[in-house]
């Protein structure tokens, strides 16, 4: 279930990256998540953020092996995301250990903060 469409910028020294998800009316959740008024589920937004951080840690930072989703904290949803929107995600990896990392991620849609969360990942 790919939820990351692109990476537009990263800075390895600052451990930051910017990616996006183009939300279309073809998404699997559109028909069922509020029929007649599709709204991107929060859990899918968090999954997109986790995919952004995992991509950064594996392909840019160079962490080896499979990176699994380990947890979320401090999550707030502030705006709705609907088909036709581009959801930008800005991630900052702020903690790295031998097998784990944590990242603060903000989701932006239409120049507004849609969500913020802390993602934890683990090399499994």
Assess whether 33 carries a catalytic annotation: yes
Of 18, 29, 33, 77, the active-site residue reads 33
CA atoms within 13 A on the CB side of 99: 6
**How many C-alpha atoms does 30 have within 13 Å on its Cβ side?**
9
Q: Quote the strand ranges of 1-124, DSSP E.
A: 6-11, 16-22, 67-77, 86-96, 100-109, 112-123
Closest CA to 89 of 41, 56, 122: 56
Catalytic annotation, residues:
33
């Amino acid at each position: 279930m790919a939820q990351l469409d692109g990476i537009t910028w990263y800075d390895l020294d600052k451990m930051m990256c910017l990616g996006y998800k183009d939300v279309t009316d073809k998404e699997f959740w559109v028909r069922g998540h509020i029929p007649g008024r599709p709204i991107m589920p929060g859990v899918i937004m968090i999954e997109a953020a986790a995919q952004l951080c995992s991509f950064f840690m594996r392909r840019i930072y160079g962490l080896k092996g499979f990176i699994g989703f380990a947890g979320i904290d401090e999550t707030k949803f502030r705006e709705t995301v609907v088909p036709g929107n581009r959801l930008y995600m800005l991630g900052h990896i702020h903690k790295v250990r031998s097998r784990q990392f944590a990242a603060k991620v903000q989701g932006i849609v239409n120049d507004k903060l849609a969500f913020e969360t802390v993602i934890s990942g683990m090399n499994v």
